[in-house]
């Protein structure tokens, strides 16, 4: 975009959108695109992120993502996946199967270590987290099964900043069209999350 520098400030998640157009030009913080957010700000899509299962490479515990009942899985505390795992476990019990033992951890690194060490059957996390964990583990962890419950994420720009919105959208589309977005994400094992169209305020449920 021809600027000589960029500055990224870390702010509490809920404070970012209200500060767009004043304190910040853009917000980039895993913003899932929702109709509510699109009413507040412009959203330019660039990622599609869902949930995914990760196992030790080769799946030595024979974890079946289609039937996780009776297994021990690790999740990060406070994640959507922690709630989802609890729901899955309830469904297992209701179906007369074994419950899922859910082991919450603060750090995904701790989960990775224990997963590789054989303490857990699997981990459940965002698809990008699984990809990055796999990369960081040197291939000792891999995703198993398909990504599910995917949703687009976007860059947020102030609603009244049409010019910057267009610049961001075109810049993002350029990165997509020329393979840069995929290359960048591949550095972090997240290349599968790349979208191919930088859509402004896409229609979402």
Partner 1 sequence: MHKKTIFMMLTVASAATALTACADPTTTTSSGSTTAATASSATSYDVSSIPTVDEIAALVPDDVKKRDRRRSATTLISIRHSHR
Q: How far is the CB of 79 from partner 1 (least distance, A)?
A: 4
Rounded distance, CA 112 to CA 140, Å?
A: 9
> What part of residues 34-73 is at the interface with partner 1 (CB under 8 A)?
46-47, 49
- 3-state class of 138 per DSSP? coil
**Piece of the chain touching partner 1 by CB under 8 A; list 93-101, 115-123, 140-148, 173-181:** 173-181
Task: Report if residue 32 touches partner 1, rule: CB under 8 A.
Answer: yes
**Site size toward partner 1, by CB under 8 A:** 65
Task: Report if residue 107 touches partner 1, rule: CB under 8 A.
Answer: yes
Rounded to 5 degrees, what angle do the CA atoms 100, 79, 55 make?
50
Which among 172, 164, 160 has a CA at the least distance from the CA of 25? 164
- When the beta carbons of 84 and 99 are compared against partner 1, the nearer one is 84
Rounded distance, CA 133 to CA 52, Å?
A: 12
- If you ran DSSP here, which 8-state letter would residue 196 be given? S
Which among 104, 113, 110, 101 has a CA at the least distance from the CA of 72? 101
Residues of the shown chain interacting with partner 1 in the complex, contacts defined by CB under 8 A = 1-13, 16, 19-20, 23-32, 46-47, 49, 76-80, 106-109, 125-126, 128-129, 132, 135, 151, 155, 161, 163-164, 166-168, 170-172, 174-175, 180-181, 183-185, 187-188, 190
């Amino acid at each position: 975009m021809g600027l000589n520098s960029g500055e990224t400030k870390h702010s509490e998640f809920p404070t970012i959108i209200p500060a767009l157009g004043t304190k910040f030009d853009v917000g980039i913080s895993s913003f899932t695109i929702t109709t509510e957010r699109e009413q507040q700000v412009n959203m330019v899509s660039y990622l599609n992120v869902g949930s995914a299962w990760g196992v030790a490479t080769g799946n030595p515990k024979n974890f079946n993502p289609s039937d996780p009942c009776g297994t021990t899985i690790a999740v990060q505390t406070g994640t959507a996946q922690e709630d989802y795992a609890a729901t899955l476990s309830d469904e297992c019990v209701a179906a007369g199967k074994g419950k899922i033992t859910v082991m919450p951890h603060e750090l995904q690194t701790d989960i990775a270590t224990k997963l590789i060490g054989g303490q857990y059957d699997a981990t459940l996390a965002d698809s990008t987290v699984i990809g990055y964990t796999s990369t960081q583990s040197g291939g000792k962890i891999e995703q198993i099964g398909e990504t599910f419950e995917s949703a687009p994420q976007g860059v947020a720009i102030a609603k009244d900043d049409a010019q910057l919105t267009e610049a961001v959208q075109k810049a993002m589309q350029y990165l997509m069209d020329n393979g840069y977005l995929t290359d960048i994400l591949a550095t972090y094992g997240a290349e599968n999350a790349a979208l191919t169209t930088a859509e402004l305020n896409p229609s979402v449920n």
